[in-house]
């Protein structure tokens, strides 16, 4: 740490100053200049001497930090011989880093004050120097410990901040309020004006808790895991700890071992408000017994369907396959048991424990609020025959699927009187599968039409099994065929040519 010894120069006339060259490849001072420079150095030296005499400054620590001895307090740098750097060096330049002097001290704005000392009145120069000394003493104090030491201290103090503690202790309620505020269930609650008022309150109540970036509350180690920037404020004896990624800063006070947050709130008020908002919601929920009973009924239904879950999952997948063959048919929703299974599987329906209605309801997620309207129809499905019903349903659907599936001879596309069977379509899709993305559409058309062009011969496409497959078709109808296959979901247009769709892949 500190100034590399090879780069320090002492001058007996200015015992409180250490001189050093600054800037790339500038490693020596041969001359400290003339009348102006000498006058300025004398004034700086005097101000510092005055400070040292009249205030008991902990110079040992500062000298250890700068690696200097004697009376030396501050460095003053030279850009080149005879030319003083008009900006004093910030103490952060030396913090937790080893400067070797091989490349010279960096002339870096981040590590220089922006006050030009050659333009200051005596009074202003004195003020500036007092500040600079104070900064140096503060950073020297910081330097007595490692960066990690301070980060750990700041994290521990953040953890102890009353608002952080409140957030931790009320975490389940805070999360429940946020979730409930977004929940579709709100639209089902009586009375809408009470709900609207509750939501207005949420905006106010949640404000303090929403100022924290999510990642600063990971559960165990508080503060996020991104790299932090530290800033040093000597006047308030404070270290700023900032995460650029989260756009959040806290300020650690050395003397009280406490942090202040980027934005501070009245913590007791925040505590009362979060308790009130939970209470208010529970009162609303208590007036909605019908709804909570219905949710309980859905939970029970889901539980009763569990033993037949695999059968119904399979039935649902068969239903989806049928829907693909018969484009407009809504198969899954035509069977109440299946629709019920589907919608309940997509819903989160936790059992109610001892927690408040707010916390329970915030965890309920329905695939669709229409569920409540279907309850009546579904109730009839839930008897002790449900197992037999599920098995029967799967069987029925499998029969339907067999009927829906194409046979090889089924004509599935007709273009201007030209018919194409399912087996011929499969061959065309095969061609696209192998060559579709390598060649433009018109080349594929030529292959199917059996046009023996030079290009096809060069690519040896005239020797493939698809050559001339649709020789009887006019080429423009073959182009239409591609369009039709795309429209029906068998093909997907690519930048060059086509590829076959997932649906085609599955069916073939
Ligand atoms: Zn962060």
Is pLDDT above 90 for 28?
Answer: no
Residue 249 contacts residue 241 (beta carbons within 8 Å)? yes
Distance 287 CA to ligand 1 centre (A): 42
Residue 507 has pLDDT above 80, yes or no: no
CB 178 within 8 A of CB 354: no
Do 226 and 254 belong to one domain?
yes
- Tell me the CA–centroid distance for residue 221 and ligand 1, in Å: 13
CA distances 489 to 430, 500, 502, Å, are 15, 9, 9
Mean pLDDT across the chain? 92
* Ligand 1 centroid to residue 229 C-alpha, Å: 10
The residue from 404, 424, 446 where one domain ends is: 404
Centre of ligand 1 from the C-alpha of residue 212, in Å: 10
Residue 251 Cα to ligand 1 middle (Å): 15
Q: Are residues 122 and 155 in the same domain?
A: no
Residue 135: domain span:
5-142
> Quick one: 269 and 312 in the same domain?
no
Distance 223 CA to ligand 1 centre (A): 7
In which band, very low, low, confident or very high, does the pLDDT at 148 lie, cut at 50, 70 and 90? very high
In this prediction, residues 232-257 reach a mean pLDDT of 97
3-class DSSP assignment, residue 106: coil
What is the predicted pLDDT for the residue at 488?
84
Judge if 48 and 174 occupy the same domain: no
**Residue 332 has what pLDDT?**
85
CB 469 within 8 A of CB 448: yes
Ligand 1 centroid vs 222 CA: distance in angstroms? 11
CA-based nearest residue to 99, from 213, 439, 91, 169: 91
Residue % of the chain over a pLDDT of 70: 99
Distance from Cα 165 to the centre of ligand 1, integer Å: 19
Whole-number Å distance, alpha carbon 126 to ligand 1 midpoint, is 40
- 339-348, 375-384, 389-398: segment of lowest average pLDDT: 375-384
Residues 376 and 296 in one domain: yes
pLDDT score of 147 = 96
Percent of the chain whose pLDDT exceeds 90: 70
154 Cα–ligand 1 center, Å = 14
Q: How far is the CA of 245 from the centre of ligand 1 (A)?
A: 5
228 C-alpha vs ligand 1 centroid, how far in Å? 8
Same domain, 187 and 137: no
CB 188: neighbour CB atoms within 10 A? 17
Out of 110, 142, 174, a domain closes at 142
Å from CA of 123 to ligand 1 middle: 43
C-alpha 242 to ligand 1 mean position (Å): 8
Structure letter (DSSP) for residue 283: H
CA of 206 to the centre of ligand 1 (A): 21
What total number of domains does the chain contain? 4
Q: So what's the pLDDT on residue 212?
A: 93
Cα 272 to middle of ligand 1, angstroms: 29
Cα 70 to ligand 1 centre (Å):
44
Dihedral of alpha carbons 351, 355, 359, 361, sign? positive
Ligand 1 midpoint to CA 139 (Å): 24
Contact 296, 302 (CB under 8 A): no
- Answer whether 433's CB lies under 8 Å from 495's CB: no
Residues 217 and 259 in one domain: yes
Could you tell me the distance, in angstroms and rounded to a whole number, from the CA of residue 244 to the centre of ligand 1?
7
pLDDT surpassing 70 at residue 81: yes
In the predicted model, what is the mean pLDDT of residues 67-79?
93
Asked if 127 and 216 sit in the same domain, the reply is no
Contacts of 66 (CB under 8 A, 6+ apart): 2, 3, 18, 72, 75, 94, 136, 140
Q: Indicate whether 263 and 330 sit together in one domain.
A: no
pLDDT in tens, 96-142: 998 887 878 999 999 999 999 999 999 999 999 999 999 999 999 99
| Ligand 1 center to 239 CA (angstroms) | 17
* Kind and range of the H or E run holding 238: strand 238-243
Residue from 114, 116, 117, 65 nearest 91 by CA: 65
pLDDT value of position 383 = 82
pTM of this prediction exceeds 0.85? no
201 and 227, same domain (yes or no): yes
Same domain, 217 and 135: no
Query: Per-residue pLDDT for 219 more than 70?
Result: no
User: Domain end: 124, 142, 160, which one?
Assistant: 142
Taking 70 as the threshold, does the pLDDT of residue 220 lie above it?
no
What's the rounded mean pLDDT across residues 493-502? 87
Query: What's the CA-to-centroid distance between 213 and ligand 1, angstroms?
Result: 8
| Pair (468, 501) in one structural domain | yes
> Which pLDDT value is given to residue 222?
65
What CATH code is carried by the domain that includes residue 490? 1.10.10.10
Separation of alpha carbons 505 and 482, rounded Å: 16
What is the pLDDT at residue 221? 58
Dump pLDDT digits (tens) for 447-490. Answer: 999 988 999 899 899 999 999 999 999 988 999 999 989 988 89
What is the 259 CA–ligand 1 centroid distance (Å)? 17
**pLDDT tens figures, 294-333:** 999 999 999 999 999 999 999 999 998 888 888 777 888 8
- pLDDT over 80 at 442, yes or no: yes
Helix axis angle, 192-205 to 267-286, nearest 10°:
160
Question: 225 CA to middle of ligand 1, Å?
Answer: 6
């Amino acid at each position: 740490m500190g100034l590399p010894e090879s780069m320090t120069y002492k001058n007996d006339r200015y015992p409180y100053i250490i001189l050093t060259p600054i800037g790339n490849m500038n490693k020596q001072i041969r001359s400290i200049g003339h009348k102006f420079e000498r006058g300025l150095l004398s004034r700086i030296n005097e101000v510092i001497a005055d400070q040292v005499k009249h205030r008991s400054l902990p110079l040992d620590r500062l000298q250890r930090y700068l690696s200097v001895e004697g009376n030396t307090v501050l460095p003053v740098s030279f850009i080149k011989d005879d030319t003083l750097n008009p900006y004093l060096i910030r103490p952060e330049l030396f913090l937790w880093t080893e400067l070797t002097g091989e490349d010279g001290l960096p002339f870096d704005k981040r590590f220089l004050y922006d006050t030009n000392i050659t333009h200051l009145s005596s009074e202003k120069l004195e003020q500036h120097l007092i500040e600079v000394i104070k900064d140096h003493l503060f950073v020297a104090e910081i330097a007595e410990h490692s960066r990690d030491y301070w980060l750990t201290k700041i994290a521990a103090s953040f953890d102890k901040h009353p608002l952080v503690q409140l957030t931790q202790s009320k975490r389940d309620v805070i999360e429940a309020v946020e979730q409930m505020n977004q929940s579709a269930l709100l639209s089902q609650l009586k009375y809408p004006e009470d709900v609207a008022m509750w939501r207005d309150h949420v905006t106010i109540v949640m404000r303090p808790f929403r100022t924290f970036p999510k990642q600063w509350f990971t559960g165990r180690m508080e503060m996020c895991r991104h790299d932090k920037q530290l800033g040093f404020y000597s006047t308030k004896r404070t270290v700023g700890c900032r995460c650029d990624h989260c756009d959040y800063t806290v300020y650690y006070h050395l003397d009280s071992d406490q942090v202040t947050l980027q934005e501070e709130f009245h913590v007791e008020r925040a505590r009362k408000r979060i308790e009130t908002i939970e209470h208010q919601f529970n009162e609303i929920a208590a007036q909605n017994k019908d709804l909570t009973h219905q949710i309980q009924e859905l939970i029970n239904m889901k539980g009763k369907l569990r033993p037949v879950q695999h059968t119904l999952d399979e039935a649902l997948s068969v239903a989806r396959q049928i829907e693909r063959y018969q484009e407009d048919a809504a198969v899954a929703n035509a069977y109440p048991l299946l629709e019920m299974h589907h919608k309940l599987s997509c819903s989160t329906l936790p059992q109610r424990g001892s927690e408040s209605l707010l916390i329970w309801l915030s965890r309920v997620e329905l695939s669709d609020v229409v569920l409540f309207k279907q309850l009546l129809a579904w109730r009839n499905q839930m008897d002790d025959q449900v197992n037999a019903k599920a098995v029967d349903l799967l069987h029925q659907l499998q029969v339907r699927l067999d009927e829906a599936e194409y046979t090889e001879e089924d004509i599935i596309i007709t273009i201007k009187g030209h018919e194409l069977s399912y087996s011929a379509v499969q061959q065309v899709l095969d061609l696209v599968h192998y060559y579709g993305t390598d060649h433009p559409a018109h080349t594929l058309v030529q292959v199917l039409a059996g046009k023996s062009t030079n290009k096809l011969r060069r690519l040896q496409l005239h020797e493939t099994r698809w050559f001339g497959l649709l020789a009887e078709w006019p080429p423009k109808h073959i182009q239409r065929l591609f369009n039709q296959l795309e429209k029906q979901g068998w093909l997907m247009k690519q930048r060059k040519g086509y590829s076959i769709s997932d649906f085609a892949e599955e069916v073939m």
